[in-house]
Structure 1
């Protein structure tokens, strides 16, 4: 059976890709990765293997559960593709599913583009244009 972290979900991203983006954004809120490690109670070496510049291991459910619990995030949040760009759930998942391959690639590019707030605005505008164009 394929690990859920390796299954391709949306816009060509795997579950591990989604988790990696979420956790890297959380780490960016701290002065150092070490501070994040202390805050979530996971050794920095363990995090580095999963989240470092060249991760050698996928991010396990256990690590996600521990981070979500420590930071009081909703269960499953780190695996939620739509939370990457639509925190307030303004875009229907069915609308995202209707995007063409080129639009999906744009979504992926926007998600990976810092800062996340600008990407969210651009993505919301893209989907709004898509809705208007499909009427």
Structure 2
């Protein structure tokens, strides 16, 4: 991925591919306990989410195509990103991840559910 490319110039499918790739890289970094590398990808993933959100009709919905992805970090990040556009479907995906006991993503998913239920986390 080239860092200089403006996200606003990219089609949805390219943003989806970049989102997926960054999430896989996060998974790999987490697996190697390289937390700085994990965190560096966070802002880039957030920038893609923000770009999709800003497009007509809030195009974060395309991230739902990643539900059921073989990589648990991809699934979790996509579910987080889509809570505001399809709460029930995203929550189901998060529940499946929590139930999977595939750590550490299941822990993140479980805490997300608790925070949603307690009103601490309100997706936007």
Provide the TM-score with structure 1 as the length reference: 0.26
Provide the TM-score with structure 2 as the length reference: 0.28
